[in-house]
Amino acid sequence: MKILIFGKGYMGARCASAWGEDTVLSDVFVNSVEDVLKEIERVRPDAVLNAAGVRGKPNVDWCEDHARETIRGNTLLPILIAEACQEAGTYLLHMGSGCIFYGDSPHDDRAWREDDHGNPVPVYSRSKWAADLVLSTLPHVGIARIRMPIDWTPSPDNLIDKLARFPKVIDVENSVTIVDDMVSVFHALMDQRAAGVFHVTNPGTVKHREILELYRELVDPAHACEWIGNDDLVAQGFATKGRSNNFLSSARLGEHGIAMRPVRDALRDTMMKYAHAKKSNL
């Protein structure tokens, strides 16, 4: 399967390196439907992955003061890419985010379903939810929502690195995405040309405290941090807006015969590989 990826950032580059030669990581900065059509014409892919977007640098709080850039990257851009894919008859997998949900869902198990409506307040989350709302009306489009990617490759964007470098950490519990599993799931979704919304998160939930306990056990026994309450994140000035914490149900993957490893198994395996990568300076 030939895959064309837009967005050569953290996720786009990681997917391209996992999938190898039959994948093209586009250099094009998309401003129009024509830009995308030209790339599709050049590459002739079986599927397109949209891994382009605006997450904010140094973090998502940037989006609060840059609403237009954020909307352009996370709402308008996916619509341009989807429009081109519809015209070319090419399947599109769009990367969404699970952080469109805040708090517990209305269901007894507190987990958000793929067809639940988002309740986001911050600009970034609202711009992502807006794209989901419109793209989910189109045929041959899949929306893969991920959360807090955890990978064995050290990177400033990896949740392991983020938690390890914060002097003060909130102990919250979340659904997360183990990136090794994510790249396989994305490939399977594109192979099936699966339409609709998918939560690409590993079964189970994990606390920040558990991730750092594993980090101390396998990577750095000397690591230390101070634990603070969730509300302290904004109260102590570490963030402008509170972060989304939630549990996601990934039942729709199961309906497509796609499974991810239980989060604790996948996390231990990933942390072991991460420790190895750190030691080998990978």
Interface positions with ligand NAP (CB under 6 A): 6-12, 29-30, 51-55, 73, 77, 95, 97, 128, 146, 149, 157
Query: If you write DSSP's letter for every residue of the chain in order, what string do you get?
Result: --EEEE--SHHHHHHHHHHGGGEEE------SHHHHHHHHHHH--SEEEE------SSSGGGGGG-HHHHHIIIIIHHHHHHHHHHHHT-EEEEEEEGGG--S--SSTT-PBPTTSPP---SHHHHHHHHHHHHHTTSTTEEEEEE-SEE-SS--TTSHHHHHHH-SEEE--EE--EEHHHHHHHHHHHHHHT--EEEE---SS-EEHHHHHHHHHHHT-TT---EEE-TTHHHHTTS-SSPPP---B--HHHHHTT-----HHHHHHHHHHHHHHHHHTT-
Tell me whether residue 33 or residue 51 sits nearer to ligand NAP (CB atom). Answer: 51
Q: How far is the CB of 53 from ligand NAP (least distance, A)?
A: 3
Per-residue tokens: 211: 């991730």
Q: How far is the CB of 56 from ligand NAP (least distance, A)?
A: 8
Tell me whether residue 56 or residue 203 sits nearer to ligand NAP (CB atom). Answer: 56
- What is the rounded CA–CA span in Å between residue 250 and residue 255? 9
Helical axes 123-135 vs 77-88, angle rounded to 10°: 20
Tell me whether residue 134 or residue 235 sits nearer to ligand NAP (CB atom). Answer: 134
Tell me whether residue 95 or residue 214 sits nearer to ligand NAP (CB atom). Answer: 95
Tell me whether residue 41 or residue 217 sits nearer to ligand NAP (CB atom). Answer: 41
Per-residue tokens: 201: 């998160």
Q: How far is the CB of 221 from ligand NAP (least distance, A)?
A: 27
Q: CA end-to-end span of the chain, whole Å? A: 28
Q: How far is the CB of 108 from ligand NAP (least distance, A)?
A: 26
Q: How far is the CB of 14 from ligand NAP (least distance, A)?
A: 8
Tell me whether residue 244 or residue 258 sits nearer to ligand NAP (CB atom). Answer: 244
Q: How far is the CB of 185 from ligand NAP (least distance, A)?
A: 14
Tell me whether residue 128 or residue 252 sits nearer to ligand NAP (CB atom). Answer: 128
Residue least distant from ligand NAP (Cβ):
9
Q: How far is the CB of 222 from ligand NAP (least distance, A)?
A: 27
